[in-house]
Structure formats: C-alpha cells, structure tokens
C-alpha cells in the first residue's frame, strides 16, 4: 500500500524530528553516563524491522559518525561474533534490536562485559509502535543531576530505613522491616566492573530483609503478562498481602488470576519480593509502552510477584525452584521510608545528593 504524498511527508517530518531528539539524547547518554567519546571505538549492531529501530540507528550515526555499523539481518552470526572479537577493551557495543538478537549460546551482554567492553542494549523495540516510540526516545534523555542526585538520595534513605509504606490511594502496603542494600540503575558506573546495560535508565530497587514483614493491601494498574507485555485492566486490581504472600485479590481479571495460578502451580504460593523505585519521567500511568521490561522504569513503585530474584538471596528459596518474577505496578499516591514521605504528586521528593 502506498501512502498519499501528504501522509508520507508528515511521516518523514515526524521521523526527522524524532531522530533529532534521539540523537541529542544518545549524545548526552554517551557523554555523561557511558563516558564514551565520538572518537573512541564503537560498534553498532542493529536491524531495520521497526520504525523505532531505524530512528535510533540514525541517531547513533549522528552521535558516533566514525562507528562501525552492522545490520544483523544482512550477515551471519559468525560475522557479528568476529566483529566483537576485534574490539579492544574499553570499546562500546550498541545493540538496537526489534526483538532480541540470538547468537546460539552466546549471552551477548554478559560476554561483552567479560571482554571489558561497554554495552548499551536496546531491546524489544518492535513492541513499541507509533507514539510509544516517541515515549521511548524521550526516556533516553539523561539528566545527571536528577538521576544521580535523586537516585543516590533514595538509596541512602532506603539503606537506613527501618520500615516503609506504599499508599496506593487508600490502600496501604506496609514493609515492617529494614531493606536490602538498594541497587542503582541510574547511569552512574563509578566503581562498577561493568559500564552500561539495558536502556532506558531509571531505577533504584531493593526488597524487605524479612519478606514475611510485608503486609497490607496494594492497588495495581498494570501487570506483566505471560508474553512480557503490559496488561492494563480497566479497573485497578487490589492485592491482599499477608506475611509476604498474595492471599487474595479484588477486581482481578481472568488474565491476572491465570497468572497467579501459574505461579502457584510451580512455586506453591505467590511471594512479593522486589520493591522498585522507578525514576524515568517519560513513563507514567498515562504514558505507557507495551514492553514490560522498558516500562519497569516508570516513575513510581513497582513490585514483583514470584520467588525469583537473582540479586538478593533468601534462605527460604532455592535458585533452581524459583521460576517467576512478574512485575506489577502500584497506583502510587505516596511512599514513606520511616516517617519521611519520599513521593508525592507523581514525583520523588527527596533532596538530591550533590554531584561530585
């Protein structure tokens, strides 16, 4: 089907504007988060299966004019692996993927990190069509004063807190326990072995040291379905949580109930584990993207259902038996750490830590 000329022109104009914004956001990420200059070695592996892929690829061409570009669909896997092998340590690899590149048993990001390479991974871009692509491009904007200042301030509050509470509009979920040492995904790689990861950025996460000290009720407006896509019920679902397990629901949809039944069938009960403090202001209750791994950065609180959490070990879980980690997103009206309110009116309210 051929678009009318005026529609084609409009799409070209949108693409040009989107590319301009994406190029600026990518340049800022490279300079301020990855600390990689345009004259340093870089390899971009991409495909052209979605509009967002094409826009991001062009954005990187503008930000890294001397980089090597490989179209994943036009070469063999051995060609890609050989290109990786030729890169000296400290080089940058960018993966722009409509789905997720498969190179047999080669775990791309982990293996690249082992070689001392920096990695920026954009995945499942084909899941975010139309205006969602614009949300994704906006999510790549990097404000170091916000991400690092607020991110480190949240970590300090989390690590020192004796308890916490999430208010999801009249329902309260209480964490009557200190928290595990919070982890940061804020584009600050100082002191870390690896530079980069899956983008966009914007999350501080933890969980209760004592999972059985989590009790109360929480309203959720989105959950991850079995295809790792955002599922948004018409009415928020209320979860009833006792001693860290989901013991009941209100307004649950058949899809959500089925997901709980899958977890129970394999794990016996449904645990609540991760407590995520999403920071990316490009995503909200109103501005969503379909890919659950991307939407996880949404500014607000998300939790995980299921026993699986690779970052924190707990004695009651054996790694081989913990199979599920399903992200759910709370209606976030307020968040308290000890007696300090750290979230209000859709934003984190802690005083940012001064940048070094």
Q: For each of the domains in the chain, give its residue range(s) and CATH number, in order of start.
A: 8-140 (3.40.50), 151-185+196-348 (no CATH)
Q: CA angle 277-254-218, nearest 5°?
A: 30
- Contact 163/174 with Cβ under 8 angstroms? yes
- At 52 the pLDDT is 97
Residue 10: pLDDT band by 50, 70, 90 thresholds?
confident
DSSP 95: E
What's the token pair of residue 30?
Answer: 């490279």
Residue 319: pLDDT band by 50, 70, 90 thresholds?
confident
Question: CA–CA separation, 194 vs 113, rounded Å?
Answer: 6
Q: For residue 344, is pLDDT > 50?
A: yes
- At 1 the pLDDT is 42
What's the token pair of residue 106?
Answer: 């080669």
Instruction: Check whether the bond before 200 is cis (ω within 30° of 0).
Output: yes
- Contact 57/48 with Cβ under 8 angstroms? yes
Question: CA–CA separation, 91 vs 257, rounded Å?
Answer: 46
Average pLDDT over residues 57-85: 96
Run of H or E including 299: none
What is the secondary structure of 262-282 as a DSSP string?
HHHHHHSS-BEEEEEEE-BTT
Question: CA–CA separation, 60 vs 76, rounded Å?
Answer: 22
Residues above pLDDT 90, as percent of the chain: 88
Q: For residue 92, is pLDDT > 70?
A: yes
Question: CA–CA separation, 217 vs 262, rounded Å?
Answer: 21
Q: For residue 315, is pLDDT > 80?
A: yes
DSSP 296: T
Run of H or E including 22: helix 5-28
CA distances, 160 to each of 116, 177, 178, 242, 349 (Å): 33, 11, 8, 24, 17
Residue 155: pLDDT band by 50, 70, 90 thresholds?
very high
What's the token pair of residue 171?
Answer: 């329902």
**By three-state DSSP, how is residue 325 classified?**
coil
Nearest CA among 3, 17, 2 for reference residue 55: 17
Residue 3: pLDDT band by 50, 70, 90 thresholds?
very low
CA distances, 78 to each of 49, 67, 68, 86, 337 (Å): 21, 20, 16, 12, 50
- At 281 the pLDDT is 98
- Contact 268/113 with Cβ under 8 angstroms? no
CA distances, 268 to each of 55, 307, 318, 349 (Å): 45, 10, 13, 38
Residue 6: pLDDT band by 50, 70, 90 thresholds?
low
Rg (CA), the chain: 21
Residue 106 burial (C-beta neighbours within 10 Å; 0-12, 13-18, 19+): middle
- 45 strand-pairing partners: 70, 95
Residue 66: pLDDT band by 50, 70, 90 thresholds?
very high
């Amino acid at each position: 089907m051929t678009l009318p000329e005026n529609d084609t022109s409009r799409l070209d104009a949108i693409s040009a504007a989107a590319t301009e914004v994406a190029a600026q956001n990518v340049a800022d990420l490279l300079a301020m988060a990855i600390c990689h200059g345009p004259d340093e070695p870089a390899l971009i592996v991409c495909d052209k299966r979605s509009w967002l892929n094409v826009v991001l690829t062009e954005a990187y061409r503008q930000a890294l004019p001397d980089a090597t570009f490989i179209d994943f669909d036009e070469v063999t896997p051995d060609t890609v692996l050989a290109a990786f092998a030729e890169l000296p340590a400290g080089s940058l690899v960018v993966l722009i993927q409509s789905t997720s590149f498969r190179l047999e048993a080669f775990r791309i990001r982990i293996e690249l990190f082992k070689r001392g390479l920096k990695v920026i991974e954009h995945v499942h871009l084909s899941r975010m069509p139309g205006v969602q692509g614009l949300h994704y491009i906006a999510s790549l904007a990097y404000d170091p004063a916000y991400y690092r200042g607020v991110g480190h301030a949240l970590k300090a509050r989390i690590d020192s807190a004796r308890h916490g509470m999430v208010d999801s509009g009249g329902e309260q979920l209480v964490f009557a326990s200190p928290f595990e040492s919070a982890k940061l995904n804020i584009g600050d790689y100082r002191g870390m072995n690896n530079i980069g990861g899956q983008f966009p950025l914007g999350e501080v996460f933890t969980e209760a040291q004592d999972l059985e000290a989590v009790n109360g009720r929480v309203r959720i407006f989105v959950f991850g379905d079995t295809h790792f896509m955002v599922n948004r019920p018409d009415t928020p679902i209320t979860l009833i949580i006792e001693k860290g397990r989901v013991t009941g629901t209100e307004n649950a949809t058949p899809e959500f109930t089925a997901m709980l039944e899958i977890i129970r069938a394999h794990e016996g009960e449904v645990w609540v584990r991760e407590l995520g403090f999403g920071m990316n202001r490009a995503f909200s209750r109103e501005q969503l993207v379909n890919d659950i791994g991307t939407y996880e950065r949404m500014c607000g609180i998300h939790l995980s259902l299921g026993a699986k959490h690779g970052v924190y070990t707990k004695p009651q879980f054996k790694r081989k038996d913990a199979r599920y980690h399903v992200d759910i997103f709370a209606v976030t009206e307020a968040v308290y750490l000890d007696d300090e309110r750290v979230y209000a009116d859709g934003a984190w309210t802690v005083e940012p830590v001064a940048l070094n």
